[in-house]
Amino acid sequence: MNEQEILNRAKRAAMSVDELVQPYDALLRRRDRKRRNQRIAAGVVGLAVFVAAIWIVTSGGPLDRTQTPALPGGGETGETGPAETGPAYIGPTTYTLGPVTEQDIAVGDSFMQAWLEDDGEAAAAMLNPEGTFDGFQPAILPALHDWFRAGGWTFSGGGCGIHGWGPKRGVVGCGFRFENDLTRALGMRPVESKQTCLSFVIGDGRIETAWFGCGGDVGSGMFRSPNPVHDDLFRDVWDMFIEWISSRYPEDFGQMYDSGLGYPILDPTSIDLWERYTDEFVASPQRLARSFTEWMASQSFEVQARRICLTANDEFWSADNQHGREFDSAVVEASEETLAELRALPLETETDRATMEAFVPLAEQWIELFRQAAEGTGEVDFFERRDLQISMDSLIEGCLITGMGG
């Protein structure tokens, strides 16, 4: 996407939320109420079953993260931002995989308890003084949690385990879910994905390095925009919000967000601005929902198709689907609805048309596979399903396939 296209999208996004303004005294009342609710929510911690992610490690030696820069957001080091206004950005870290002990997992659990309780000071105290959190000095954590509070972020989950090949070849990984004022205004469920994990290398009872991601060199970050690697429903909401701030308040935006690092600037001035514009953005949930629909309609086929598929999978797995024929029947119904939505998208380029021409027959074959299983006239063959998944995923990533047919 060229610079002019980005500017045009930003202008459209700004126009679609022009009505999201309320009097200043109402903002103050809402802010006070939000802070009170956050204090209540901070004491509530949910239980989550954590599934360890596995990535391929080709050698037994140290894994050097400089091979894939683990910058906050996955970009190149910027010249402005958090490094100037708070703890310094240190950059990529070299660490060695494993061994991981039960004591290490307990350290991860303790860190996540502090994280869920919104205690940045306690979390920072668990890192080595020379350690890093997402590439920054540990002292970033209190300011990061101040920023979370400004946007109404609350966390749940937090279960820790081993990421990697096992105790001898892994790191500690802890999953979590989050909500914030943006997700709540749009009626979204709590968000979890491969970005909503924290991974740790731990030595002598202290955290040596930590980063967002479920193990390995996950450098896409929580806050980068645009971020083509994110695989959760929050990504598009975040992109719209970033475009809205940058187009509507460009001077303030420069004080709020380091585009080079893909990270919010974490000084008091910036955090106050984040809180002010978050409140303004979500002041009218109904208008925001309409604006988001309009904004999504202006995006590329790839972005719109991705959201249709992510939404379908999110709704499918939030339902009480059973195994066996009931499960297969549910897969058929969800897949047919998803395919109908995809076919309704406008195809503006030859590439878009070629993608759908190749995708539709595979999707129909996928649906038929599960229909026969639901009717008892066939079985879902593992290898046939796998081949279909690979072929479909190469055209529209994660569509009709994510976890389906377990």
Query: What predicted TM-score, i.e. pTM, was given to this entire model?
Result: 0.73
Q: Is residue 176 part of a domain?
A: yes
Q: Which domain holds residue 71?
A: 3-288
CA–CA dist 343, 339 (Å, integer): 6
The percentage of the chain sitting over the pLDDT mark of 90, rounded to a whole number, equals: 50
Question: Could you tell me if 263 and 310 lie in one domain?
Answer: no
- Of 242, 265, 288, which residue constitutes the final position of a domain? 288
Would you place residue 71 in the very low, low, confident or very high pLDDT band (cuts 50, 70, 90)? Answer: very low
The type of residue at 346 is: P
Q: Is residue 370 part of a domain?
A: yes
CA–CA dist 153, 298 (Å, integer): 28
Question: Could you tell me if 373 and 274 lie in one domain?
Answer: no
More confident residue, 14 or 263: 263
> Over 80: is that where the pLDDT of 1 sits?
no
Question: Could you tell me if 284 and 305 lie in one domain?
Answer: no
- Of 288, 320, 338, which residue constitutes the final position of a domain? 288
Question: Could you tell me if 263 and 306 lie in one domain?
Answer: no
CA–CA dist 379, 371 (Å, integer): 9
Q: Is residue 404 part of a domain?
A: no
Question: Could you tell me if 281 and 312 lie in one domain?
Answer: no
Question: Could you tell me if 126 and 153 lie in one domain?
Answer: yes
Q: Is residue 398 part of a domain?
A: no
Question: Could you tell me if 266 and 324 lie in one domain?
Answer: no
User: Over the stretch 131-158, which tens digit does the pLDDT of each residue have?
Assistant: 999 989 999 999 999 999 999 999 999 8
Q: What is residue 298's predicted lDDT score, i.e. its pLDDT?
A: 94
Q: Is residue 401 part of a domain?
A: no
Domain count for the chain? 2
User: Over the stretch 156-190, which tens digit does the pLDDT of each residue have?
Assistant: 998 899 987 777 888 999 999 999 999 999 999 99
Q: What is residue 324's predicted lDDT score, i.e. its pLDDT?
A: 67
Three-state secondary structure along the chain? CCHHHHHHHHHHHHHHCCCCCCCHHHHHHHHHHHHHHHHHHCCCCCCCCCCCCCCCCCCCCCEEHHHCCCCCCCCCCCCCCHHHHCCCECCCCEECCCCCCHHHHHHHHHHHHHHHCCCHHHHHCCEEEEEEECCECCCHHHHHHHHHHHCCCEEEEEEEEEEECCCCCEEEEEEEEEECHHHHHCCCCCECCCCCEEEEEEECCEEEEEEECCCCCCCCCCCCCCCCCCCCCHHHHHHHHHHHHHHHCHHHHHHHEECCCCEECCCHHHHHHHHHHHHHHCCCHHHHHHHHHHHHHCCCHHHHHHHHHHHHHHHHHHCCCCCCHHHHHHHHHHHHHHHHHHHCCCCCCHHHHHHHHHHHHHHHHHHHHHHHHHHCCCCCCHHHHHHHHHHHHCCCCCCCCCCCCC
Q: What is residue 139's predicted lDDT score, i.e. its pLDDT?
A: 92
Q: What is residue 7's predicted lDDT score, i.e. its pLDDT?
A: 41
Q: Is residue 183 part of a domain?
A: yes
- Of 258, 288, 318, which residue constitutes the final position of a domain? 288
User: Over the stretch 374-405, which tens digit does the pLDDT of each residue have?
Assistant: 888 877 778 888 888 899 989 988 787 655 44
CATH of the domain at 133: 3.10.450.50
